[in-house]
Amino acid sequence: MGIEDEVSSNAVKVYKAMKEMAVLSEDKMGTAERITQSSRLPKTMVMNALQELQNRGWARRKVREKAAGYYLVK
């Protein structure tokens, strides 16, 4: 059972964009802006997809001073 079975198509695009960017750990986090540029989706769709990935346990969000960072867990 892969990610395609668990989340929407936009979330899969965001997941693959994050995987290509290698944001796989807390020290290599990516911002929503960078993920938006990489996935070529509108920012609201990216934010919704990131929320979905967080709720399903595929990604984590870390609050920082200026912008929150996101990274993949699975």
Total domain count, the chain: 1
For 27-36, the pLDDT digits (tens) are 999 999 999 9
Length of the chain: 74
The domain that holds 21 is classified in CATH as 1.10.10.10
CA distance 74 to 70: 13
For the residues 66-74, what does the mean pLDDT come to?
Answer: 93
Q: Which domain holds residue 56?
A: 3-72
- In the DSSP assignment, the letter for residue 7 is S
Distance of CA 52 to the CA centre of its chain: 9
Instruction: Average the pLDDT over 2-7 and give the result.
Output: 85
